[in-house]
Amino acid sequence: MTPPASGTSSGPSGGASGGEPTARQVAGRRWRASRGVIGTILVLILVTIVIAALKPSGKPDDLDPTSASQGGTRALAETLRQHGTPVSVARNSEQAVQQATSTTVLVVTRPERLTRTDVDRLKRAGGDVLLVEPSRDLLDALAPGVQEAVPTFEAADQPDCTLPAAVMAGSVGFGEAQLYEAPPGATSCYKSDGLGRLVQIQTVGGRTVTVIGSADPLTNKNLADDGNAALAMNLAGARSSVVWLMPDLPTAGEGGDRSFMDLVPFGVKLFVLQSLVAVALLALWRSRRLGPVVAEALPVVVRSSETVEGRSRLYRAHRARDRAADALRAGARERLVPLLGLPRSAAQDPASAQEIVTAIAARTTHDEATINAALYGPEPGDDVQLVGLTDFLDDLERQVHDS
């Protein structure tokens, strides 16, 4: 078989002026590709800032059992008294410790007003304790093992626990609530992803400490909703009396050494959390993107004989004698039809097979049957027959060319 004439092919031609992108064009493409995501992140940050700014801050009388405002808890205190559970109000930790006994439930609210000294003093109080939206210092001191997790806005339809106070209350409207990770042996209720809005533990001294991550069920505004009243009364009225700690604002010099996180408002924490998530998503998105393809003019010269040898080795490795024979026959017909004065389309047209065979027989020493078997016959049985077919096709081309 006569190998085709060697040729030269080349890759993309031209220098930098032939289409290679400039630094400005690359920067422009990157900006257009990323501006949508950057805009979305900026809008998210702006919305978070607005929400944090508009979120009402705690009023001075929020959770105050003597206040009739929406954020107060006078309705709960009066309901407890009507059911035979006296409620006394303590305005500082010292009064709370003095009033708390083994038969009381100490309700601790407004932890942002408590100093480290107040927290240490409350550890000595008697009776059970109900912590409403406690700080980390309060959790560490009075509810060891209970860990703050993440805040949530999801609704908690059912208690999903065996705590009698929660089971009797049923569905409770917590609103914005803090989730807690409960230690082994604790009871966790109203859970989301395994984290509870309400956690109750038994301390080493036999004290029952209940942690609730939202004050909404206790307030005048929400007490009548769902099972809020039942839950609030069952938790606060678990003993014969209630001592409600509503600390006054600390005076100068009483601030103590509170941690930085206790001083950060919830809205700021939420903003930082969302910003971190947005930055992580942006980093993940950009890390999976490759830069633009850089075109580089590189001439490529491959000898035609190397292509033929490469394809031959592939056919031999896979024993593809049928494909090799088809390629040889098709190439021979393509080269023969112009020499016979026939149109090139006839080379691959089965209807022109007899015409091609007759024309070749007239210009060579071979008969039509032998020529037909060579150009359109079956697959060679082995490599020897394939080599013989190659030699025969070369002989046909040579005779037709010389005739």
Quick one: three-class SS letters along 101-131? CCCEEEEECCHHHCCHHHHHHHCCCCCEEEE
Q: Judge whether 369 lies within some domain.
A: yes
147 with 199, same domain? yes
Number of domains making up the chain: 3
358 with 333, same domain? yes
Residue 2 clears pLDDT 50, i.e. is over it: no
162 with 207, same domain? yes
- Full domain range(s) for residue 84: 74-263
179 with 137, same domain? yes
Q: Judge whether 8 lies within some domain.
A: no
175 with 122, same domain? yes
pLDDT for residue 9: 41
Could you read off the pLDDT of 17-28 as tens digits, one per residue? Answer: 445 667 777 677
366 with 241, same domain? no
Lowest pLDDT segment from 212-221, 227-236, 261-270, 379-388: 261-270
Q: Judge whether 216 lies within some domain.
A: yes
Q: Judge whether 220 lies within some domain.
A: yes
Q: Is 313 helix (H, G, I), strand (E, B) or coil?
A: helix
84 with 194, same domain? yes
pLDDT for residue 3: 40
pLDDT for residue 118: 92
122 with 257, same domain? yes
Token digits for 323? 């494909």
Could you read off the pLDDT of 58-93 as tens digits, one per residue? Answer: 577 889 999 999 999 999 999 999 999 999 999 999
pLDDT for residue 300: 67
Please answer whether residues 166 and 189 qualify as being in contact, where contact means their C-beta atoms are separated by less than 8 angstroms. yes
Calpha distance 73→274 (Å, rounded):
32
Lowest pLDDT segment from 180-194, 248-262, 295-309: 248-262
Question: Residue 266: pLDDT band by 50, 70, 90 thresholds?
Answer: low
Q: Judge whether 341 lies within some domain.
A: yes
93 with 239, same domain? yes
114 with 202, same domain? yes
pLDDT for residue 100: 94
Q: Judge whether 7 lies within some domain.
A: no
Residue 96 clears pLDDT 50, i.e. is over it: yes
The average pLDDT across 336-351 equals: 87
**For residues 278 and 313, which has the higher predicted lDDT (pLDDT)?**
278
pLDDT for residue 79: 95
Lowest pLDDT segment from 46-55, 92-101, 118-127: 46-55
Token digits for 403? 């005739």
Q: Judge whether 200 lies within some domain.
A: yes
Lowest pLDDT segment from 116-130, 208-222, 290-304, 347-361: 290-304
Question: Residue 353: pLDDT band by 50, 70, 90 thresholds?
Answer: confident
pLDDT for residue 252: 54
Q: Judge whether 322 lies within some domain.
A: yes
229 with 358, same domain? no
pTM of the model: 0.53
Lowest pLDDT segment from 76-85, 304-313, 373-382: 304-313
**Mean pLDDT computed over every residue of the chain:** 83
**For residues 323 and 316, which has the higher predicted lDDT (pLDDT)?**
323
pLDDT for residue 345: 86
274 with 245, same domain? no
Calpha distance 236→76 (Å, rounded):
9
For CA atoms 38, 44, 48, 49, give the dihedral sign: positive
Calpha distance 34→147 (Å, rounded):
39
Residue 13 clears pLDDT 50, i.e. is over it: no
pLDDT for residue 240: 94
Mark which of 213, 242, 263 sits at the end of a domain: 263
pLDDT for residue 40: 78
